């Protein structure tokens, strides 16, 4: 799969594209770890949201990927979500499994959910009739964000440039 390496300026442009799309009046922002932490933080700051929550979800290996059962390592208490309007943020909607699992669990306790991602891959999604409420770009590429530590051997082997103080 073709890779696309993003710089911080690219992320800024994607966030700038997302911000005007959001309605106002969210009670909280729920970021999905780890990919949603940085975009979630930037969006929370731009929307002046004070309540920022995290969800850590993992799918155990399965011979049939669509049947894998989620493990919730971390999730907000039901009382933090019930009768609240929640913006769920992740970096990318690939299969959609993770964000839809978080959305479903939040709705199950009475939360009203909207979803947002930087990149949406409709061709990869397991959810033909659903997608994110908000997204900054559509792609088919493997996106490598600047906060991802392992960006590939070619980038890791570059000499470090000293920072002048």
Please give the full DSSP string across the chain, using - where no structure is assigned.
Answer: --EEEPPHHHHHHHHHHHGGGPPS--SEEEEETTTTHHHHHHHHHHTT---EEEEEEEE---SSGGGPPEEEEE---HHHHTT-EEEEEEEEESS-HHHHHHHHHHHHTT-EEEEEEEEE-TTT-S-TT---SEEEEE--SEEE-TT-S---HHHHTSPPPPPP-
Structure-token pair, residue 130:
């659903």
pTM of the model: 0.86
More confident residue, 154 or 131: 131
Structure-token pair, residue 87:
């913006």
Rounded Cα gap, residues 131 and 93, in angstroms: 8
Percent of the chain residues past pLDDT 90, beyond the cut: 78
Q: What is the pLDDT averaged over residues 104-127?
A: 96
Which domains, ranges and CATH numbers included, belong to the chain? Answer: 3-156 (3.40.50.2020)
Q: Of how many residues is the chain composed?
A: 165
Encode pLDDT of 12-27 as tens digits.
999 999 999 998 789 9
Structure-token pair, residue 27:
């009670």
In degrees, rounded to 5, the angle at the alpha carbon of residue 51 between the alpha carbons of residues 86 and 71 is: 60
**62 pLDDT exceeds 90?**
no
Least confident of 24-28, 35-39, 58-62, 109-113: 58-62
Q: What is the pLDDT averaged over residues 121-144?
A: 94
Q: What pLDDT was estimated at residue 66?
A: 62
**159 pLDDT exceeds 90?**
no
Q: What is the pLDDT averaged over residues 147-158?
A: 59
Confidence of residue 69 (pLDDT cuts 50, 70, 90): confident
């Amino acid at each position: 799969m073709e890779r696309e390496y993003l710089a911080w300026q690219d992320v800024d442009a994607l966030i700038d594209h997302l911000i005007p799309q959001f309605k106002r009046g969210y009670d909280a922002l729920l970021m999905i770890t780890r990919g949603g932490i940085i975009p979630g933080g930037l969006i929370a700051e731009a929307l002046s949201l004070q309540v920022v929550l995290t969800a850590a979800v993992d799918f155990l290996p399965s011979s049939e990927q669509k049947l894998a059962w989620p493990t919730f390592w971390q999730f907000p208490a039901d009382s933090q979500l019930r009768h609240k309007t929640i913006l769920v943020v992740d970096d990318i909607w690939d299969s959609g499994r993770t964000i839809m699992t978080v959305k479903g669990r939040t709705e199950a306790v009475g939360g009203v959910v909207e979803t947002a991602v930087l990149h949406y891959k409709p061709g990869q999604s397991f959810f033909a009739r659903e997608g994110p409420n908000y997204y900054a770009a559509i792609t088919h590429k493997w996106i490598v964000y600047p906060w991802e530590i392992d960006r590939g051997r070619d980038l890791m082997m570059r000499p470090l440039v000293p920072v002048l103080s």
